[in-house]
Amino acid sequence: MSEIKENILVTGGAGYIGSHIVRDLGEKGFLPVVYDNLSTGNKKNVLYGDFIEGDISDSTLLKDTIKKYGIKSIIHFAASIVVEESVQNPLKYYENNSVNTFKLIKTCVASGIQNFVFSSTAAVYGTPEKVPVDENAPLNPINPYGKSKLFTEMVLKDTAAALPDFNYIALRYFNVAGSDGKARIGQQYKKPTHLITLALKAALGEYPQLKIFGSDYDTPDGTAVRDYIHTDDLSTAHLLALDYLKKEKKSLVFNCGYGQGSSVREVVDTIKKVTGIDFEVVEAPRRGGDPPQLVADSQLIQKTLGWKPRYNDLEYIIETAWAWEKKLRRED
């Protein structure tokens, strides 16, 4: 029988990324306490632990949950994450990712939470002066999404500096993709916006074509370059971060990526290869808020936490995402 280690609060644990961490926490004997308002998540994604339907702005329910489960550690995912939507509807992003997250942090501190793992983003760097980008690069977000997340990083930094018993690790995600190797959980948005998902749906014929947003960037093939990281490697980073916080009681910020850039065209070509399906691709204007290149220098997390990429292979990432998309299709 596995020993129950600790109850971990996971906000947004019914969502795409959060559910992979919930799976790994459960498999390692933790009890994940998933707290999610189901705005984009789905209860079916929660493979382990207890589920509470709630919003991070509901301080009373949060306080009661923390008390009931004796929570000392939180992994906070619940957030809005679509760059272009943040340009069109900045108030939604500042409300959810900044104001409500600020309230959450306040509740955590008042309730005696000591360890806070925060899902941040490479969007805090804006358009990096050089790639790969390391954690000391200037923070100049170019869209409300990145700004809303940077605000939370600042709140966490100042709070941890002031309170010796409160520590945090912010993980700056590059482009998260792929799915659980057994296709139990994966990305499922009502209105998908991410490149790999949209291209796979084009391959399945759910969309008539894939649009490439911008082919005039200053990059080798003119399309935007991103560092795609598999959910399972990202999940490991969270578990290592939690362990580090508990043992070392130190606050840190890490990039999560592979240091490998793939252009939109390279991703599309790999999707055609993996699926064996040739779908229509058209060039379209650039999308608002997109930087030309985002590639991580992730040496710091490798050295400090001992994190090692296991799935840094675009084909494997796409294969797992493809298995998930086909499963969704069968269940439709």
Tokens of 235: 């999940």
Pull the structure tokens for residue 210: 């894939």
Q: How far is the CB of 283 from ligand UDP (least distance, A)?
A: 9
244 is catalytic: no
Of 123 and 185, CB closest to ligand UDP: 123
Residue 227 has a CB neighbour count (10 Å cut-off) of: 26
Residue 187 touches ligand UDP, criterion: CB under 6 A: no
Query: Strand pairing of 281-284 and 225-226?
Result: unpaired
Give the DSSP per-residue string, 216-232.
-SSSTTSS-EE-EEEHH
Q: How far apart are CA 29 and CA 48, in angstroms?
A: 10
Active-site hit among 145, 168, 228, 311: 145
Does 256 participate in binding ligand UDP (rule CB under 6 A)?
no
Check if the beta carbon of residue 321 is closer than 8 Å to that of residue 186.
Answer: yes
- Closest residue (Cβ) to ligand UDP? 224
Note whether 104 binds ligand UDP by CB under 6 A. Answer: no
Which of 168, 122, 293, 309 has its CA nearest to residue 231? 309
Q: Which stretch binds ligand UDP (CB under 6 A): 21-29, 209-217, 249-257, 295-303?
A: 209-217
Examine residue 272 and tell whether it contacts ligand UDP (CB under 6 A). no
Q: Which is nearer to ligand UDP, 168 or 217 (CB)?
A: 217
Of 61-69, 110-118, 204-212, 307-315, which part binds ligand UDP (CB under 6 A)?
A: 204-212
In the numeric block, the tokens 């990305």 are attached to: 187
Residue span 69-88 as binding mask against ligand UDP, x where in contact by CB under 6 A, dash where not: --------------x-----
Number of residues that bind ligand UDP (CB under 6 A): 15
The least distance separating ligand UDP from the CB of residue 123, rounded to whole angstroms, comes to: 7
CA 123-34-164 angle, 5° bins: 65
Cα-Cα end-to-end distance for the chain: 37
| Catalytic site positions | 145
Chain residues binding ligand UDP by CB under 6 A are 83, 175, 193-195, 198, 210-213, 224, 226, 264, 287, 290
